[in-house]
Amino acid sequence: MDSANQPVIADKKPIVIQLKPGTYYWCSCGRSSNQPFCNGAHKDTSFAPMAFEVAEAKKVALCACKHTGNAPFCDGSHAKL
């Protein structure tokens, strides 16, 4: 498979961040310079951002390796990379 269809591993640990209520767009391709959020860098790839809602302010661990089975949240998959 060509590199345009493989996610870039942005980091091998989650990005732990405090989020306010609202809609967010998680970068699924790993190419965004605004990790863990989308900046449109997925253009010309098979990837699209993943919208997710936060109902109340909370701290979350968002996947940065782009291999999680629980997107956009970290499930520990980075430990196997």
pLDDT tier, 74 (very low <50, low <70, confident <90, very high otherwise): very high
pLDDT of residue 2: 57
Could you tell me if 58 and 22 are in contact, meaning their C-beta atoms sit under 8 angstroms apart?
no
Question: Which range has the worst mean pLDDT, 1-5, 48-52, 67-71?
Answer: 1-5
pLDDT of residue 5: 81
Q: How far is CA 44 from the centre of its chain?
A: 18
State yes or no: pLDDT of 1 exceeds 90.
Answer: no
Average pLDDT, the chain: 95
pLDDT digits (tens, 9 = 90+) for 9-26: 999 999 999 999 999 999
Number of compact structural domains in the chain: 1
Q: Which residue range is the domain that position 4 belongs to?
A: 1-81
Q: Could you give the C-alpha distances from 53 to 3, 24, 31, 35, 56, in angstroms and in order?
A: 29, 6, 22, 17, 9
Which residues are CB-neighbours of 26 under 8 A, at least 6 positions away? 36, 37, 38, 49, 50, 51, 52, 62, 63, 71, 72
Question: ∠ CA(41), CA(35), CA(16), 5° rounding?
Answer: 160
Residue type, 63: C
